[in-house]
């Protein structure tokens, strides 16, 4: 059974796709394995209309236009779950970890936007939230930063009200990584939670070595120390006595993988909203974590993730990855309010309020083109 099971029927009638020029980051960002990013990953955004006049809006890639629009602008009227199920199985041969699978998840988000608009409720309230805020931790800490720049960012995060921080490790010099962990711990004190993200950099033996060397600094978690699919490697690390909680999840697209993670000993599961095949898998994974006494948090763009964070408990965080999220957030409408380690969603805006500011994007020369698509008749 689905966690979300809405009976409302939807017929899609029109779409407008805004193709972006690259949105530059204030400074390049680098992690242990992903190369160096100079631009935000957003490729464009879409406005998707139904036959009752609702308009969903979401940042999507060009693949959504190519792969999904032809399958939904066909004049058919289906319920929310009928659309999800039919598309889910149409993309099966591409694999449920594929970009096509993620694009089905993007349509899922837009249908939820449409249904909450019809209900006249903010999206988080439509989904059952009883509060308007989400607890957050703050991450950043590019490997490109000098030590003093890293310390400056981490101490600023604490001053802003965050009690849990994250930064990157996995440079080609482990001694440098260790030095930076030590410096951050000394700078923020023992009362602040520090976590690090290796972005799958190491093999099992190297990851274990790192965990032993950082044991004195009492890390809240070490994220993706080895390959995200090395399930038996995770099991080995736990059997070896890995010194810190192990976190995984942003590389997985479907809830079944998180069952395996928990079975292998992962201590902290971290689905990413923008990468899910089915959006209610976030709730499935949250509940799975609660049932197994495993920590849960979710990643993704903070201005969208905050909506779902309203469905979490106070100790279930959303991630605010400032270096990439903030530059994109400056081009959105209705940014959630950031205050003392929480994000507050507007309670008076129906649907999904997190929309790209087309006027500002155009003014800054970031709209490359605009395409119109219409329902087949």
pLDDT digits (tens, 9 = 90+) for 19-42: 999 999 999 999 999 878 999 999
Residues 208 and 96 placed together within one structural domain of the fold: no
Give yes or no for residue 88 having a pLDDT over 90. yes
Residues 185 and 275 placed together within one structural domain of the fold: yes
On whether residue 2 sits in a domain, the answer given is: no
The percentage of residues in the chain with a pLDDT greater than 70, rounded to a whole number, is: 99
The reported pLDDT for the residue numbered 342 is 98
56, 114 Cβ separation under 8 angstroms? yes
Write the pLDDT tens digit of every residue in 149-204. 999 999 999 999 999 999 999 999 999 999 999 999 999 999 999 999 999 999 99
Measure the CA–CA gap between 370 and 48, rounded to whole angstroms: 13
CA distances from 247 to 47, 100, 165 (A): 35, 26, 14
In the predicted model, what is the mean pLDDT of the chain? 96
353, 334 Cβ separation under 8 angstroms? yes
Measure the CA–CA gap between 80 and 25, rounded to whole angstroms: 36
Cα-to-chain-centroid distance, residue 106: 12
Residues 35 and 153 placed together within one structural domain of the fold: no
Residues 182 and 316 placed together within one structural domain of the fold: yes
Residues 155 and 278 placed together within one structural domain of the fold: yes
CA distances from 301 to 215, 327, 371 (A): 31, 11, 25
Nearest Cα residue to 183 out of 226, 138, 214, 162: 214
Residues 288 and 339 placed together within one structural domain of the fold: yes
Angle at 104 between CA 100 and CA 109, to 5 degrees: 140
Torsion of CA 59, 64, 69, 71, to 10 degrees: -140
On whether residue 3 sits in a domain, the answer given is: no
Nearest Cα residue to 242 out of 210, 281, 273: 210
Q: Is 117 left (phi over 0), alpha (psi -120 to 50) or beta?
A: alpha
Based on the structure, what is the number of domains in the chain?
A: 2
> How many Cα neighbours within 13 Å face the side chain of 22?
7
Check residue 122 and report its DSSP letter. B
Residues 163 and 31 placed together within one structural domain of the fold: no
Q: What is the CATH number of the domain that holds 139?
A: 3.20.20.120
Rg (C-alpha) for the chain, rounded Å, is: 21
pTM comes to 0.96
Beta bridge partners of 79: 9
**DSSP letters along 141-156, please?**
--TTS-HHHHHHHHHH
pLDDT-based confidence at residue 303 (cuts at 50, 70, 90): confident
- Coil, strand or helix at 187: helix
Write the pLDDT tens digit of every residue in 265-276. 999 999 999 899
pLDDT-based confidence at residue 377 (cuts at 50, 70, 90): confident
Residues 118 and 130 placed together within one structural domain of the fold: no
Q: Token pair 């969903």 is at which residue?
A: 56
173, 206 Cβ separation under 8 angstroms? no
CA distances from 265 to 161, 188, 254, 269, 293 (A): 31, 29, 18, 10, 11
Measure the CA–CA gap between 93 and 91, rounded to whole angstroms: 6
Write the pLDDT tens digit of every residue in 39-68. 999 999 999 999 999 999 999 999 999 999
272, 97 Cβ separation under 8 angstroms? no
Q: Which domain holds residue 107?
A: 9-123+355-374
Q: What is the CATH number of the domain that holds 101?
A: 3.30.390.10
On whether residue 197 sits in a domain, the answer given is: yes
295, 286 Cβ separation under 8 angstroms? no
Residues 141 and 164 placed together within one structural domain of the fold: yes
Q: Token pair 């976190």 is at which residue?
A: 247
pLDDT-based confidence at residue 1 (cuts at 50, 70, 90): low
Measure the CA–CA gap between 339 and 134, rounded to whole angstroms: 10
Nearest Cα residue to 194 out of 173, 168, 160, 174: 168
Give yes or no for residue 132 having a pLDDT over 70. yes
CA distances from 195 to 160, 270, 299 (A): 17, 13, 14
Residues 362 and 260 placed together within one structural domain of the fold: no
On whether residue 151 sits in a domain, the answer given is: yes
The reported pLDDT for the residue numbered 34 is 84
- Coil, strand or helix at 227: coil
Tokens representing residue 357 in the block: 């500011």
On whether residue 350 sits in a domain, the answer given is: no
How many CB atoms neighbour CB 133 within 10 A? 18
Residues 189 and 214 placed together within one structural domain of the fold: yes
Residues 190 and 111 placed together within one structural domain of the fold: no
Check residue 191 and report its DSSP letter. T
């Amino acid at each position: 059974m689905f966690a979300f099971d809405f009976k409302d029927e939807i017929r899609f009638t029109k779409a407008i796709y805004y193709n972006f020029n690259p949105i530059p980051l204030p400074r390049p960002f680098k992690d242990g394995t992903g190369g160096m990013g100079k631009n935000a990953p957003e490729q464009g955004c879409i406005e998707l209309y139904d036959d009752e006049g609702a308009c969903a809006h979401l940042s999507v890639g060009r693949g959504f236009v190519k792969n999904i629009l032809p399958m939904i602008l066909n004049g058919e009227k289906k319920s929310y779950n009928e659309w999800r199920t039919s598309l889910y199985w149409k993309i099966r041969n591409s694999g449920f970890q594929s970009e096509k699978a993620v694009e089905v998840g993007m349509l899922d988000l837009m249908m939820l936007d449409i249904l909450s608009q019809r209900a006249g409720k903010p999206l988080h309230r439509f989904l059952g939230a009883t509060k308007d805020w989400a607890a957050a931790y703050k991450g950043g800490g590019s490997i490109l930063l000098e030590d003093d720049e890293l310390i400056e960012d981490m101490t600023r995060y604490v001053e802003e009200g965050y009690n849990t921080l994250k930064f990157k490790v996995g440079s080609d010099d482990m001694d440098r990584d260790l030095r930076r962990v030590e410096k951050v711990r000394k700078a923020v004190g023992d009362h602040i939670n520090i976590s690090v993200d290796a972005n799958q950099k190491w093999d099992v033996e190297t990851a274990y070595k790192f965990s032993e060397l950082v044991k004195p600094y009492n890390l809240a978690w070490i994220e993706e120390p080895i390959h995200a699919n090395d399930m038996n490697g995770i099991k080995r690390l736990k059997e070896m006595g890995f010194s810190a909680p192990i976190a995984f999840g942003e590389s997985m697209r479907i809830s079944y993988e998180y069952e395996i993670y928990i079975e292998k000993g992962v201590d902290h599961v971290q689905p990413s909203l923008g990468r899910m095949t089915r959006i209610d898998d976030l709730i499935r994974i949250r509940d799975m974590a609660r049932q197994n006494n495993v920590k849960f948090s979710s990643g993704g763009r903070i201005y969208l993730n905050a909506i779902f964070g309203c469905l979490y408990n106070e100790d279930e965080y959303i991630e605010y990855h400032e270096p990439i999220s903030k530059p994109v957030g400056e081009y959105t409408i209705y940014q959630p309010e950031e205050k003392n380690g929480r994000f507050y969603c507007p309670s008076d805006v129906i649907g999904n309020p997190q929309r790209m500011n087309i006027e500002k994007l155009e003014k800054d020369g970031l709209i490359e083109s605009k395409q119109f698509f219409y329902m087949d008749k």
